[in-house]
Amino acid sequence: MTNEENNQQIEPVSSVMKVFAILNAMAEHKSVGVTELSQTVMTSKSTVYRFLQTMKMLGFVSQEGDDDRYSLTLKLFEVSSKALEHVDLVSLTEPYMASIAEQTKEALHLGIRDGDGIIYIYKVDAQYNLRMQSRIGGRNPLYSTAIGKVLLAERPESYIRDVFKDTQFVPSTEKTHRTIDALLEELQQVKVQGYGVDNEEQEEGLRCIGSPIYDRLGNVIAGLSLSFPTLRYTPEKFEKYVSLLQEATSKISEKLGYTK
């Protein structure tokens, strides 16, 4: 390969790197001038100016009057939003669920809210004979499930009361919440600790831990849970399961555009 051919291949990459360096630098300021930008990205003023004019023409940058200060528009946000609309939550979450299932051999569920209940949209069965009985498309109450609790925990009390205004709290076990006030008290703890627990509230002999998944706006849109029989419970396992779930949901949320 000749030097000329090599330069022809490298130059476009170099240009792209300069564009993104400029975009990243502009993201740190409401508006910024060409001189300041050139110093930040260590590129000549003439080169920065040419890039800015091209980005302005494409709608990614706006210029304030006739001075040399520039600002980012919402065009990048619009582009990223369109990309995120095509992210398949199940496809995104499945590898993490498979990994946790392999490490724990317990059942994993991905659930979303539907009215005053949750719907399981994906699952990985436990590798034990004794395991949770569930199905994709199955529905359970918000008030008695770990996923339901993380879906509600960061919502205002008024919102939660509205969700359950026509709901009768039907006890599945002796530990199921009977009233919305009892649920609200627990949700305060769920919000603080960052995960929810179903302690034999939906099914006797079964415990479940749920962790929230956030969208780019910081809304909890789904929950990822791990279920296991109480006879396999140990404090050490519990802490490990919480850590695995929170690590997974954090990475999934990041891929959905969420930043803390």
Same structural domain for residues 129 and 50? no
- Tell me the per-residue pLDDT of 91-111, one tens digit each, with 9 for 90 and over: 999 999 999 999 999 999 999
The pLDDT of residue 137 is 77
In the numeric block, the tokens 């300069």 are attached to 18
**Could you give the CA distance from residue 224 to residue 112 in angstroms, rounded to a whole number?**
9
Give the amino acid at 112.
I
Name the domain count of the chain: 2
The pLDDT of residue 225 is 96
Q: Are the beta carbons of 224 and 241 closer than 8 angstroms? A: no
Same structural domain for residues 143 and 67? no
Q: Which of 140, 137, 93, 88 is nearest to 115 (CA)?
A: 140
How deeply is 216 buried, as exposed, middle or buried, from its count of CB atoms within 10 A (0-12, 13-18, 19+)?
Answer: middle
- Write the CATH number for 206: 3.30.450.40
Q: Which two tokens stand for residue 119?
A: 């719907």
The pLDDT of residue 83 is 62
Q: Are the beta carbons of 145 and 197 closer than 8 angstroms? A: no
Same structural domain for residues 117 and 243? yes
Residues near 42 by Cβ (< 8 Å), separated by ≥ 6? Answer: none
Same structural domain for residues 73 and 92? no
State the virtual CA torsion across 239, 233, 150, 248 in degrees, nearest 10.
Answer: 50
The pLDDT of residue 66 is 66
pTM over 0.75: no
Low-confidence ranges of the chain (pLDDT < 70): 1-13, 66-67, 81-87, 129-134
The conformation of residue 128, written as its DSSP 8-state character, comes to S
The pLDDT of residue 82 is 62
